[in-house]
Each structure stands twice: as C-alpha cells, then as structure tokens.
Structure 1
Amino acid sequence: MATVAFHFNVAHRNDYLCRLIRKAHRLGAWLCVTAPAVRLDELDRLLWTFDPLSFVPHQRVRSVPPSPLVGAPVWVQLAETPRPREPAEVLVNESGQVIAETAGFAKVIEVVGHAEADRQAARARWRAYAEAGWTLERFEVKA
C-alpha cells in the first residue's frame, strides 16, 4: 500500500506544485498528477511558464491513450485518471478526492493550502486514508 504525504500550509499552491513537479523530474522520478480537466489544463499552462529559465517536460493525457513519443520518455503526466506505469513512483492528487486505488504508486502527495475549506477537506481525506490503513506522513511547509 502506498504512503500518503500531506504537505500542509502551502501559501502559493501553483508555484509549490510546479516546483514539486520540477524537483521530481530532476530527481528522475516518474510522476502523475491527477485532477479535474480544468485544473490539469491550468497546470499544463503553468509548467510552460512558471520559470522562464527552465522547462519541465510533461504530457497532458486525455481520455484517449497517449500517442507514442519519439525520443526520451515523458516522466511527468497530467491525467484525470491516474495512470501507473513501470516504474510508477509518485501520484500528486489534486482531485480533492480520496484516491481509492494506488496500485503501482509508491507515494501519493496531497497539497493543502491555508484556506479553512481546503484544510477541512484534507482532514477528511486524512481520516479516510488512515481508516484504510495507509501509511501517513505530515509535512509543514515553511513560507
């Protein structure tokens, strides 16, 4: 069963996510970000623009299977439905829902902002993951 890491007190969610994705890519981890389509479209755009001196190679996966790419593999995927691969390492959950099936993922990351509604929803997901027997980690993000 996967480990779920909650990153609490994130002040600037988009910047934090882009930096987290970039770090995972630089470390060579395969990463999938799952969220509703509108959110994934926003992240797709942000990964092109958040740092003018770097680029995070990524693929926006739609409902149809992705076409094979020529060259280096794409280690960052943005998908409405999590798509584990071998080796599948990290799933970033931006869906706001508990991830029921994590087969193939070693870690699930939940990013939690300052807003009370965000914190309450995260607490509910924490309880659901705990009741399901998942290993939970808590990280307090410093400003």
Structure 2
Amino acid sequence: MARIDFHSNVSDKLEYVCRLSRKIWSATKEGDSVRNIVIVGDKANLKKLDELLWLFSGTDFLPHCFIEDEAAAETPIVLTESFSSPAFNLVPHTDVLIHIGNAMPADIPALVGRFPRIVEVVTVNEAERLAGRERYKAYRELGHELHNFDQSKS
C-alpha cells in the first residue's frame, strides 16, 4: 500500500511545492540514492513552477526539467501534465509523486503500485478543495493509508 499525504488549505501552491520538493530532495542521507520526484499538474502551473524552482532560493539548487526533456531520466525532479503520457511511463522515477492538479488519476492502482508515496496538494480554492475531496475518497475506497496535513495554521 502506498502512503498518501494530503496537504490541504495551502495558500500558495507553487511556493509550497518548492519548499516540499526541497525538503524531500535534501532529506537524502549520505550514501543513499537521491529520492526522485514527479510533479503532475496543468501546463500553466507547471510553467510557473519551472520558473519558481529556478528562483526559489539563492542557496538551494533544485535540479528539474519537463518530462519530455532528454535529461528527464537523470534529473531528480520532473514536471509533467499527464499521468498517461508515454514519457510518464518511460521515466524511471518511482519514489514520490506530487500532484498539484485537479484531475483524478485514471489508473490509481497502477499509480500507487509505482509510487510508494503520493502527495496531493490542495489549496483553499473551493473547486480545488472539492476535487481534492473526491481524490481522497477514491484513495480511501481502495484502502490506502491516508494522512492529512492542514496548512491553514501555517
């Protein structure tokens, strides 16, 4: 079973994903292989996130690229619009998936079979909250371990 974390009531999704990605990526212990991250979302948000990951910190470098890039297989953080693109199935990343979109993954069993940890980021926007609730129900119905981290007090 996959561990699925819902980070809810996030005020600035893209800034939050930058901080979360930095935390996950930098948590690698010396001698361990780097934990790879796949971030799935809509094109407009991914373009903004791409820019923000470059500018996010003056001291941290978060190596990333879009999944179609020829370096995607070797880059720790990859960005993609779709769970079903051919590139999604080809990239070897299998550690952490961060979902910043509203779309329900079409094949949840395959997704949780591939990624032992899935993070769903849900903002305070009502449409995103409703979509997040639907995803939460779908994961719960499949029997996955769910954790909610309410960011409204952050």
User: 2:50 — aligned with what?
Assistant: 44
**Unaligned runs of at least 5 residues, structure 1:** none
Mapped partners of 2:102, 2:39: distance in 1: 12
TM-score by length of 1: 0.83
Structure 1 range deviating more: 79-88 or 98-107: 79-88
Mapped partners of 1:80, 1:14: distance in 2: 15
User: 1:54 — aligned with what?
Assistant: 60
- Compare the two structures and name the one with the higher helix fraction: 2
Q: 1:114 aligns with which of 96, 109, 124?
A: 124
Mapped partners of 2:13, 2:82: distance in 1: 21
Q: Once the two structures are superposed, what CA deviation does each residue of 1:1-21 show, in whole Å capped at 9, x if it has no partner?
A: 322110112122221111001
Mapped partners of 2:58, 2:50: distance in 1: 15
| Percent identity between the two aligned chains | 31
Structure 1 range deviating more: 78-87 or 88-97: 78-87
Q: 1:67 aligns with which of 59, 65, 70?
A: 70
Mapping of residues 13-92 of structure 1, within 5 Å: 13-28=13-28, 29-62=35-68, 66-68=69-71, 73-82=74-83, 83=88, 88-92=94-98
Alignment partner of 2:59: what SS? coil
Alignment partner of 1:123: what SS? helix
| Matched positions, count | 137
Once the two structures are TM-superposed, the CA of residue 86 in structure 1 deviates from its matched residue by 5.2
Residues 30 and 89 of structure 1 are in contact (CA less than 8 Å); yes or no, is this contact kept in structure 2? yes
Residues 10 and 123 of structure 2 are in contact (CA less than 8 Å); yes or no, is this contact kept in structure 1? yes
Q: 2:102 aligns with which of 93, 96, 100?
A: 96
Mapped partners of 1:47, 1:140: distance in 2: 23
TM-score by length of 2: 0.77
Alpha carbons of structure 1 residues 59 and 68: separation in structure 2 relative to 1, 3 Å = closer
**Unaligned runs of at least 5 residues, structure 2:** 29-34
